[in-house]
């Protein structure tokens, strides 16, 4: 029996992202950015969401690199502004936010801790190769109402047992 079959492998981009943080010469900058939350889902940070790729000093300014989630996601503009505001509050004035398109963002970069936070917030987290379960009663008797929910990244479901309508963060 292959014991590893059910253990999800970490995507290489996710590993690289974690290594960039672990090996960073300015860990304080990363900590500042932990306070920047997704404007639509204020319980997870941009680091947990997988949007934050890198932050580093380049000469006398700080360059923050983020990967957009969806092309048309209005939250990305807000995220860039929030990053600058958080940096300014922490005393860093010369900040530049750059976006990196490739490799494209995927929900695989979201940590399992972040997925649990989503669930506790009432949003069914992305689940690979399976239907979501109801974040209220854990039932798997659920039905998709619409491919799109309150935002492009979510679809709308209804629980067949407790009748709760809930958002599902799409596997993307």
3-state secondary structure of 159: strand
At residue 100's C-alpha, the angle toward residues 96 and 102, to 5°, is 170
Closer by beta carbon to other proteins, 16 or else 147: 147
Spell out the alpha helix ranges (H) of 3-155.
Answer: 12-22, 27-33, 46-49, 75-89, 112-121
**Does 30 participate in binding other proteins (rule CB under 8 A)?**
no
Judged on CB neighbours under 10 Å (0-12, 13-18, 19+), 151 is: middle
The least CB distance from residue 3 to other proteins, in Å, is 32
Judged by CB under 8 A, the residue of 85, 131, 150, 161 near other proteins is 150
Closer by beta carbon to other proteins, 103 or else 160: 103
Judged on CB neighbours under 10 Å (0-12, 13-18, 19+), 37 is: middle
Judged by CB under 8 A, the residue of 25, 101, 113, 129 near other proteins is 101
Closer by beta carbon to other proteins, 127 or else 156: 156
CA distance 81 to 133: 34
Closer by beta carbon to other proteins, 32 or else 153: 153
Judged by CB under 8 A, the residue of 24, 30, 156, 158 near other proteins is 156
The least CB distance from residue 28 to other proteins, in Å, is 30
The least CB distance from residue 20 to other proteins, in Å, is 19
**Does 71 participate in binding other proteins (rule CB under 8 A)?**
yes
Judged by CB under 8 A, the residue of 85, 94, 145, 163 near other proteins is 145
Cβ burial 41-64 (10 Å sphere, 16+ → b, else e): beebbbbbbbbbbbbeeeeeebeb
**Does 12 participate in binding other proteins (rule CB under 8 A)?**
no
Binding interface with other proteins (CB under 8 A): 68, 70-74, 100-106, 145-152, 156, 170, 172
């Amino acid at each position: 029996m292959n014991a590893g079959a059910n253990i999800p492998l970490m995507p290489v981009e996710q590993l690289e992202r974690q290594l960039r943080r672990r090996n960073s010469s300015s860990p304080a900058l990363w900590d500042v950015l932990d306070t920047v939350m997704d404007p639509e889902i204020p319980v997870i940070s941009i680091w947990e969401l997988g949007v934050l790729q890198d932050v580093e000093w380049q000469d006398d300014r700080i360059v923050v690199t983020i990967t957009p989630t969806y092309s048309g996601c209005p939250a990305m503009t807000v995220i860039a502004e929030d990053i600058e505001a958080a940096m300014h509050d922490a005393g860093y004035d010369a900040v530049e936010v750059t976006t990196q398109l490739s490799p494209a963002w995927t929900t695989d970069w979201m940590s399992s801790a972040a997925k649990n936070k989503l669930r506790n917030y009432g949003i069914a987290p992305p689940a690979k190769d399976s239907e979501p379960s109801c974040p209220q009663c854990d039932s798997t008797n659920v039905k998709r109402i619409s491919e799109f929910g309150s935002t492009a990244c979510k679809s709308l479901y209804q629980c067949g047992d407790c009748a709760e309508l809930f958002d599902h963060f799409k596997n993307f």
